[in-house]
Structure 1
Amino acid sequence: MSKPMLMPWRLDASEAGLQPPVMLACHMVDEAWEVAEPVQAQAFFRAIGARIARAYPLSEAHSNDEIFAAMNAFWAESGWGRAVLRFARGGLQIEHSDLPLAPSGMDEGRWHETTVAVLSGIYDHWLGQLGGGASIRTRVIGSSERSVEFFYGA
């Protein structure tokens, strides 16, 4: 995974100002939430997540450990945190922590909703490609400012 797709969204604390791609992305996020109903905006950002996941398939990973390591390698490269995955009754529990902070000037709640929707789309696609199927969706079961807990399964 040497081509981190989320890098234009990566905001290091040492950054003094927003670079043009990040500014554009922030405006696009705000505009999507302004013109669309919440369900539509979430679907849009989930679709972006699925597109990112298609660009970074986990097909080379075969064992659970390799799959989980590949996911976390992607998150580390992109600066979007890390995940702990546990098998649970009827599915998979995903604890995703160290979410990126909102860019300066952006509403933190809106940023969090966007980040969670993008992550949901990524997990939907990755886990669907690994055998989960199109009818199973990633659901949020808990959330805080810098983390989100998902459940993927029946």
Structure 2
Amino acid sequence: MKSSALLDYYRTHACSRQWRGFLLALCEEFDSALPDAELSRLMARIGERFGRDHALPAVATLDELQQAANAVWSSTEWGQVVFEEAPEQVRIHHAASPLSAVLGARAGWDTGFLEGVYRQWFRAAGMMSVLDVRYLQSDHPDVATYTLSRVF
């Protein structure tokens, strides 16, 4: 089986059938009612709520924060994350979100949600107020990339 066929199979099964139709209908309604920027903000607020409801334990290192985040993602079947420390920023690479598998690259849906979750988790971990989490364009449909960096 070709790797593209395997990925298509994964995408088809990443979200349970009971939710697929509902999410697609919800997406169509929100897409028709809200501009992309508002939809992204709404999904980020929903993500922040999720982050508060799934609070991470206090940790001392970025690696421990990544492990705690992945424990939540594993328990909810929402993929996995890798935090990559770089000068003046942390790159956040989230793979295998069920929303991206169902909805594809629709503006703001999974990217806004995950941006809000990571913003909340980093705030709770002590992120300075001059820092924020922002989505970066991604070349891969199954990996969303964010940056935690200074806000200008």
Normalising by structure 2, report the TM-score: 0.77
CA shift, 1:65, in A, is 2.8
Q: Which runs of 5+ in 1 are unaligned?
A: 1-10
What residue is the counterpart of 2:7 in the other structure? none
Distance 2:49 2:30 in 1: 17
Paired letter, 1:146: D
Q: What amino acid is the match of 1:13?
A: H
Over 3 Å counting, the alpha-carbon distance change for 1:48 and 1:120 in structure 2 is same
Corresponding residue of 2:5: none
Opposite residue 115 of structure 2, the aligned amino acid is S
Aligned-residue Cα RMSD (Å) equals 2.5
Could you say which residue in structure 2 is the equivalent of 1:123?
A: 118
Distance, in Å, in 2 between the alignment partners of 1:121 and 1:43 is: 9
Matched with 2:4 is none
* Aligned positions of 1:22-101 closer than 5 A: 22-100=20-98
Structure with bigger helix share is 2
In the aligned structure 2, how far is the partner of 1:99 from the partner of 1:12?
A: 12
Question: Normalising by structure 1, what TM-score?
Answer: 0.76
In structure 2, the gaps of 5 or more residues are: 1-10
Corresponding residue number in structure 1 for 2:137: 142
Q: Distance in 2 between matches of 1:28 and 1:116?
A: 16
CA 96–62 in structure 1, closer or farther in 2 if over 3 Å, else same: same
User: Any conservation in 2 of the 1:95–1:149 contact (CA below 8 Å)?
Assistant: yes
